[in-house]
Chain A
Amino acid sequence: MIEVKNLVKKYGDHMAVKDLSFNIEKGKIYGFLGPNGAGKSTTMNIITGYLAATEGQVIVNGHDIYEEPEEAKKCIGYLPEIPPLYPDMTPKEYLEFSADLKGIEKKRRAEQFKEISKLTGIEDVMNRLIKNLSKGYRQRVGLAQAILGYPEVIILDEPTVGLDPKQIVEIRDVIKGLSKRHTVILSTHIMQEVSAVCDEVIIIAHGELVARDTPDNLGKHVSGSNTVELSVKAPDYKVKAILNKLGGVTKFEVHSDNDEGCTKALVSTGVDKDLREDLFYAFANAKCPIVAMNYSNTSLEDVFIKVTSGRQTDRRR
């Protein structure tokens, strides 16, 4: 769908993007993550053809963005960080203009406007001037513009910034709905958004790709293990003895807990292994009741911090 090959972008002497390569497959929602100044917006601007790369290649649906920009741009709908709105137009006029620009046939427009305004929830404001609309509605009008013409790829740069919690949930639902017909790439800072919406995550830091996986796998791979947190009603020596006998455990920590004679244990194992059942039977056979068991996967925040700051310290050396 989209192939990014060895992308380099220099602003003067500053390298905003360094040798970035990835490819995007059809029908998925991609989360584009990175700390401020990581080169997310720059990369998106290059993919959409707004900026030119210093080196490297972007191929959208088989069309090189430099060789055949018009063909490539037809496949992309783009909502930049600041929605590109004309304040003196109404959303209706604006969508009309956008449809003209994208060359959408006149007879298909009325139907599309109806569908998209309903989808993005701007039906009620279609005839008001954009300058009088709130931030949330402006964001939606921008989103409507990106969806217009149903391009195969929709690229959204921080689509939920400035929206209230209810609107955020609504916009996320809209984005999820889009994945049925479109490939979506969205950049964001918000981690819940990634786990709520995205099928796959691409993390970049300092213009380089540092991690790419599904949100679930990412947690496991980064910490290198699955961890189960246990609370057992038994003295700590007994817990240690049971855990020592149990196969598949790579590491464990035991803390005696004074609360009602319970002992807490953190048990780590390999990435692909799930120990919970084994633990249950082991403790049950020893007649030590497990009062709480938690499957603690490394959270995406931790992953993000680990992955992005790890690179930074490497660089300092």
Chain B
Amino acid sequence: MLAIYKKELRTYFTTMTGYAFIAFFSLVSGFVFYYMNVEGSSAFVGYFLRYSYISVIMMVLVPVLTMKIFADERHSKTDQMLFTAPVTVGKIVMGKYLAVATVFSIPVAVMLTYPLIMMDYGDTPVGANYAAIAGFWLMGLALFAIGCFVSSITENQIISAVVTFAILLFLFLLQYITGIFSTDALVSAIAICVFVILFAVIYWLVARKTVDKAAIYAVIIALAGIAVVVALYFINSSMFDGLLQNIMLRCSVYYMFTYYFSAEVIDIGSFVYFISVIGFFLFLTVQSIQKRRWS
């Protein structure tokens, strides 16, 4: 794992990618900090971190750093060396992820000086400021995990970058799209039924070649899921109030950052949330690489 980590880190800093990322990110975050906190006289750093500028810059910079992680190795066939070496796939993924996380951590470390600068101007919520930066760091790491996963499913860097960008943009917009949908219980219940059917269809697509009677199982899953939803709806329809909105918001990593870190309190749930997202996508990365060996 250490071998991969060292090699990846060296690649970021022998090419200009690493330097460009750090410089550009620091520039933008410094500017937004100045604009929102210093000029706008706000003592809370979380205020600038949740501002759209930073989200947009993350949308562009995350794909730039993650696009080549696995796609390039696969394209140039160097993955044959990695996956025939006596190292597990999990360790390779971890090594690569930790390297990109290290690069991202450098400009975040620069951010740690911002609360210190503000302390000079009067009373500031120092603890809340550092908590917000920590939260932002976790959010960024979650976005990098998503980028890592996307890079592992394609061998074209451009596709990898564009898909990552699209996913991050969608997650960002999700918090605004939510407003379009009605909070009515019936709408939520119907939406959940649609998700159940979608899940059944995906199951059928994945399993039709390997599992006997996959179609029958898919139908059973769909019918059982719908039956449960209908039953719950008639027992207690109020639990479906605004459920769709809640699910959508919880999928939006950006919204969850605002949700957890704008109240100036530390919520253990936030750490659990972001670490689960990171873990989930790294798990998917390992699985997608393993899957490729079998097909």
Residues of chain A at the chain B interface (Cβ within 8 Å) = 11, 45, 48-52, 54, 69-71, 73-74, 76, 78, 80, 82, 84-88, 93, 97-98, 100-103, 145
Contact = CB atoms under 8 A, between A and B. Distances in A.
A101 B85 contact: yes
B268 interface: no
Interface string B80-102: 11111111100000000000000
Nearest to B3: A100
Contact of B81 (A70, A71, A103, A145): A145
13 contacts: A45-B80, A48-B84, A50-B83, A70-B86, A70-B88, A73-B84, A84-B77, A85-B78, A88-B15, A97-B7, A100-B3, A100-B6, A101-B87
B87 A70 contact: yes
B234 interface: no
A82 B73 CA distance: 12
A309 B176 CA distance: 65
A91 to B, nearest CB: 14
Interface in B242-261: none
Q: Which of A45, A78, A100, A101 has the most CB of B within 10 A?
A: A101
Nearest to A13: B209
Q: Interface extent on B, as a size class? A: 20 to 34
Contacts of B3: 97, 100-101
B121 interface: no
A80 to B, nearest CB: 4
A50 B78 contact: no
Contact of A98 (B10, B11, B81): B81
Given A51-B293, A97-B3, A102 B80 contact: no
Most A-side CB within 10 Å, residue of B2, B88, B295: B295
Interface of B: 2-4, 6-7, 10-11, 14-15, 76-88, 293-295
Which DSSP category, helix, strand, loop or mixed, fits chain B's interface? helix
The CB with the most chain A CB atoms within 10 A, among B4, B15, B77, is that of B77
Contacts of B80: 45, 50, 78, 80, 82, 84
Nearest to A157: B80
A100 B86 CA distance: 10
Nearest to A87: B76
A84 B85 contact: no
Contacts of B11: 86, 88
A49 B78 contact: no
A50 B85 contact: no
Nearest to A49: B84
A11 B209 CA distance: 13
A101 B86 CA distance: 7
A49 B86 CA distance: 10
Given A86-B11, A101-B4, 20 more contacts: A48-B84, A50-B83, A54-B294, A73-B84, A73-B85, A73-B86, A78-B80, A78-B84, A80-B77, A82-B77, A84-B79, A84-B80, A86-B7, A88-B15, A97-B6, A98-B81, A100-B7, A101-B3, A101-B81, A102-B85
A80 B76 CA distance: 12
A45 B15 CA distance: 31
A50 B87 contact: no
Contacts of B79: 84
A218 B294 CA distance: 35
Contacts of B295: 11
Contacts of B78: 84-86
Q: Lowest 5 CB-CB distances: which A-B pairs, in order?
A: A100-B3, A84-B81, A101-B85, A73-B86, A84-B78
Contacts of A98: 81, 85
A73 B294 CA distance: 18
Contacts of B77: 80, 82, 84
Residue in B7, B15, B79 with the greatest tally of chain A CB atoms within 10 Å? B7
A280 B135 CA distance: 94
B142 to A, nearest CB: 28
Given A86-B78, A97-B3, A97-B7, A102 B293 contact: no
A102 B293 CA distance: 21
Contacts of B7: 86, 97, 100
Which residue, B3, B77, B81, B295, has most C-beta atoms of chain A within 10 A? B81
A222 B135 CA distance: 72
A54 B76 CA distance: 25
A70 B11 CA distance: 26
B131 to A, nearest CB: 37
B288 to A, nearest CB: 14
A69 B88 contact: yes
Nearest to A10: B295
B88 A101 contact: no
Nearest to A47: B84
B14 A52 contact: no
B157 to A, nearest CB: 15
A51 B79 CA distance: 11
A88 B14 contact: yes
Contacts of A11: 295
A71 B88 CA distance: 11
